[in-house]
Structure 1
Amino acid sequence: MQQAPRIPYPKSSVSTSPYVVSDIAPLRRVIVNAPSPTDYHLEVATGNFLDYNPPPVEAASQHKQFERLLRASGAEVLSIEQLLDDAIEEARASGQFTTWLRATMPRLAPLANSITGATLLTRTRQVQFQTDAEGVYRHIVDHRLGFTFTRDVAVMTPRGLVLGNFASPSRRGEASLMRFATEFAPSLRDYPVVFDGMEEGLCLVGGDLQVVDERTLMVGVGHCTDPRVAPLLARRLQMDVITVQMRKGDAVRWKPSYDLLMQLFLHLDTCFTRVDDKLAVALPYFLEAEYADNDPLTRFLKGLVLEPTVDAEQARAAISSLADIGWVRRFRAGSGEEDTTIGRLKLVDLVRPWGWQVAFVGGPTDGFDMEHFFRIVLAEHQKQASNLVATSPGHVLAYEGAPRTKTALEACGAKVQTFNGRDLWPWCGGPHCLTLPLERG
């Protein structure tokens, strides 16, 4: 069988830009949004009208520890709430705040003179459990809990900011707030917006984007980021865009419920992140072509199809979806045209010829050990074991609770610093998602 041509490993060049030249370059400036005990937990945009949870007191404390580790690494840490406060002040001074508020969140317009960043983040009593003259609840604004994962709303590239856009109605407000901050906050004034998902009308979530170097961008597509984004980014950013299929499809559409496979492969950083110049961590099996339609989870599902109480149609759909995950395509910088010469590769197959090592979630795999997959791999994957953030090449921050993955990374020379994220990881995001780097390098 003829071997598919390899994509040459992209060579870095010296940069004079202040932005992000790779996802592992030394972290200099980063945006975070710590959950607060005063956060509001109600949202109705997706119909979850009784989906209310207690205030995230422990999650807030754990995030503060994460912030301390970021600062100890030498990074300047900016908070979304402060950026929104600064943006509000600037917008008021220019006479544009009330106009923006009425256009974006009209139910907040009567509060225009007293609104703060905390208000926009639903952390004040002004917008929580309000009632009308008859004592009936009056909903003003949905929660902003997803904003804890600041990576989702924007990604900095070598050329400037790429702003996100969500399929989920409950998260669209976060994208609007980020656009507002980039327009008015003085601390963000020097960062150009080079691509806006809302303006383009296409879904794009930052957890799907990873900067390899100044010429190459990886983009997970299919679940939360629309495949049609890729050629647009290649043209706009003048970068080669390598897409990684997270789910097969021509477009992203909102679904009222999330299935198990969506949680397993939600974003690219859910199952793959770079750790060092030639080291990455990945969920095993699904990003390698040799295991397509032959991984432990697929074999497990093929057995379940035979059980009389199992929905065979749903199980077969899951099997088909698993085989689709991980395949790559490349779109050329400038033209956005697809490079059809690379052959049929999955992501791990792509980076290994570049000289990258790949450490796996749960440690080294041994063929098709189904028990290891379910007891070790999935258990550590649930704790976002591959969703790590590099503070410099080979130095990463990770949640506690994935010891086999940590050992595998350390065996490859990485330094892994962990912190307690027990009340953060159930939200389906890890340290990579918790950070929006503005400057690296």
Structure 2
Amino acid sequence: MNSNGLQIYSEIGKLKKVLLHRPGEEIENLTPDLMERLLFDDIPFLKIARKEHDAFAKVFQENGVEVMYLEKLMAESLVDSGLKSRFITDFLKEAGIKNPNHFEYVKDYFESFSDTLKMVDKMMAGIRREELDLQVGGSLVDRIEMTYPFVVDPMPNLYFTRDPFSTIGNGIALNQMRTVTRRRETLFSDYIFKNHPMFKGQDIPFWYDRTDQYAIEGGDILVLNETTVCIGISERTDASAIERIAKNIFSDGQPFKTILAFDIPKERAFMHLDTVFTMVDHNVFTIHPEIEGPLTVYSLSRTDVKGEYVIHQEREALDHILKKYLEVDEVKLIRCGGKKGIDAGREQWNDGSNTLAISPGEVIVYERNHVTNRLLEEAGIKLHVIPSSELSRGRGGPRCMSMPLYRELIK
């Protein structure tokens, strides 16, 4: 099925290529006053977060997975000086700089970098006002801007590479992020898939575009198999975006027949579908027990008319719905923390349900979720346990921190 270097037709096929972002100086630019604006509940200690992330990357490397880094791919996409200048302009347009003089000053600053990778790192890290000699003008806008500590906001959520885009089949959903804070992240993906030598000219279908009207984020998109995709209707994803993706995928000749829309509670604790539900084996899933009651599932099923589909509410229990669409005799749901209560609440908060499969029945998990990890092992799942004291402060687990680009097909 692969023709362009992208191939994701399951959550569990042997992983061969993955995109990561090693936490950078953007983490050092988090402050207590800005945590809510920048979508953090705590401030990770960068030195330890990097060590933990390196341990995460090492699991991939030791298991035959090619690790690619967002910042490096971005730098490699900007070898043409004209393209680099255009990217800087596009980036700054979305950075919220209102003063035109400051805009040009910062543009010149970025263009002064001879090392493109260092420029990209600085874009991600943000620019503190104290770093540049910006003059206060006479306007009210100038005076208000001077009270804010950043000329360009940091991008601390970048290490959650799952969200800005999603690999579905051999195409990409280039997502429209819910919050202004994260929307610049998708600009990197846009330039990479249209300009990097690995992808340029590869005729990659785009199932969604970052300029589309409705919000959708990658943590809500799970590819169960060659015929079924799950997408969460969540705090971060609109139902209208799911319908747009369905129309595009069902128009393209892809093998996908059904999109299951999971309507989950619109709460930060249940931010994305993959924070409460992930696939770990052919018929085994993790799930947060708190969503089983309020969960409603709708099926969008392709018709014989190109791009059209019919919608039904699935009335059965979740395991029966999954059995039907996976065409298996049994489905096992491993509940985060074991059951509703203290353990489930604690471990779901620290992404006990957010596992990443590197092959069927073999997953990466955070070490701190010991109750859920024990249940996974008892179910015969092989675990790669990574340290997580600092990475988990960003409210995202192993699946959140990775974007698979290529998996082997399930046989």
TM range (shorter): 0.7 to 0.9
Q: Tell me the equivalent position of 1:265.
A: 270
Deviation by residue 1:15-54 (Cα, 9 ceiling, x = unmatched): 4555111111011011000102564336979857999957
Distance change (3 Å), C-alpha of 1:221 and 1:385 = same
Q: Tell me the equivalent position of 1:20.
A: 8
State how far apart, in whole Å, the 2-side matches of 1:196 and 1:102 are.
23
Amino acid at match of 2:19: I
Amino acid at match of 1:31: L
CA contact (8 A) 1:44 1:170 kept: no
Amino acid at match of 1:245: D
Distance change (3 Å), C-alpha of 1:246 and 1:197 = farther
Q: Tell me the equivalent position of 1:168.
A: 179
Q: Tell me the equivalent position of 2:300.
A: 331
Q: Tell me the equivalent position of 1:119.
A: 119
* 1:80 paired residue among 70, 76, 81: 70
Deviation by residue 1:250-272 (Cα, 9 ceiling, x = unmatched): xxxxxxxxxxx622211010000
Distance change (3 Å), C-alpha of 1:272 and 1:122 = same
CA contact (8 A) 2:351 2:397 kept: yes
User: Number of residues paired by the alignment?
Assistant: 366
Amino acid at match of 1:71: Q
User: 403-412 or 107-116: which moved more?
Assistant: 107-116
Deviation by residue 1:187-213 (Cα, 9 ceiling, x = unmatched): 333471412342322211000000011
State how far apart, in whole Å, the 1-side matches of 2:406 and 2:366 are.
23
State how far apart, in whole Å, the 2-side matches of 1:418 and 1:141 are.
36
* 2:394 paired residue among 427, 433, 440: 427
State how far apart, in whole Å, the 2-side matches of 1:141 and 1:198 are.
21
* 2:237 paired residue among 225, 229, 240: 225
Structure 1 vs Structure 2 CA RMSD: 2.9
Quick one: percent identity of the two aligned structures? 22
- Other structure's SS at 1:213 match: coil
User: 103-112 or 175-184: which moved more?
Assistant: 103-112
Q: Tell me the equivalent position of 1:64.
A: 54
State how far apart, in whole Å, the 1-side matches of 2:401 and 2:154 are.
17
Indicate yes or no: 2:288 matched with 1:283.
yes
Q: Tell me the equivalent position of 2:385.
A: 418
State how far apart, in whole Å, the 2-side matches of 1:242 and 1:100 are.
36
Amino acid at match of 2:128: Q
Distance change (3 Å), C-alpha of 1:199 and 1:429 = same
Indicate yes or no: 2:40 matched with 1:35.
no
CA contact (8 A) 2:234 2:273 kept: no
Indicate yes or no: 2:228 matched with 1:216.
yes
Distance change (3 Å), C-alpha of 1:338 and 1:86 = same
User: 204-213 or 330-339: which moved more?
Assistant: 330-339
State how far apart, in whole Å, the 1-side matches of 2:396 and 2:280 are.
17
State how far apart, in whole Å, the 2-side matches of 1:53 and 1:359 are.
31
Q: Which runs of 4+ in 1 moved over 6 A?
A: 42-46, 48-52, 123-126
Deviation by residue 1:373-422 (Cα, 9 ceiling, x = unmatched): 33211111122011011111110000011122112112222101111111
Q: Tell me the equivalent position of 1:357.
A: 332
State how far apart, in whole Å, the 2-side matches of 1:37 and 1:148 are.
12
Amino acid at match of 1:236: N
Distance change (3 Å), C-alpha of 1:392 and 1:139 = same
TM-score (norm 2): 0.81
Deviation by residue 1:204-231 (Cα, 9 ceiling, x = unmatched): 1000000011221100013111111222
State how far apart, in whole Å, the 1-side matches of 2:166 and 2:220 are.
9
Distance change (3 Å), C-alpha of 1:403 and 1:48 = closer
State how far apart, in whole Å, the 2-side matches of 1:161 and 1:48 are.
26
1:37-436 pair list within 5 angstroms: 37=25, 39=27, 40-41=29-30, 53=43, 56-90=46-80, 92=81, 95-106=82-93, 107=103, 108-115=106-113, 116-122=116-122, 127-129=127-129, 130=131, 131-133=133-135, 139-189=150-200, 190=202, 192-238=204-250, 239=256, 240-247=258-265, 262-287=267-292, 292=293, 323=294, 326-333=295-302, 334-340=306-312, 343-345=314-316, 347-352=318-323, 354=328, 355-363=330-338, 365=339, 373-436=340-403
Distance change (3 Å), C-alpha of 1:183 and 1:55 = farther
State how far apart, in whole Å, the 1-side matches of 2:358 and 2:176 are.
26
State how far apart, in whole Å, the 2-side matches of 1:351 and 1:51 are.
34
Q: Which runs of 5+ in 1 are unaligned?
A: 1-14, 248-260, 293-322, 366-372
State how far apart, in whole Å, the 2-side matches of 1:28 and 1:37 are.
29
Give the CA deviation at 1:344. 2.4
Distance change (3 Å), C-alpha of 1:44 and 1:196 = farther
Deviation by residue 1:271-310 (Cα, 9 ceiling, x = unmatched): 00000111111111422xxxx3xxxxxxxxxxxxxxxxxx
CA contact (8 A) 1:159 1:194 kept: no
Distance change (3 Å), C-alpha of 1:44 and 1:410 = closer
User: 127-136 or 180-189: which moved more?
Assistant: 127-136
CA contact (8 A) 1:204 1:225 kept: yes
User: 197-206 or 122-131: which moved more?
Assistant: 122-131
CA contact (8 A) 2:234 2:272 kept: no
Distance change (3 Å), C-alpha of 1:114 and 1:83 = farther
Give the CA deviation at 1:335. 3.7
Amino acid at match of 1:140: V
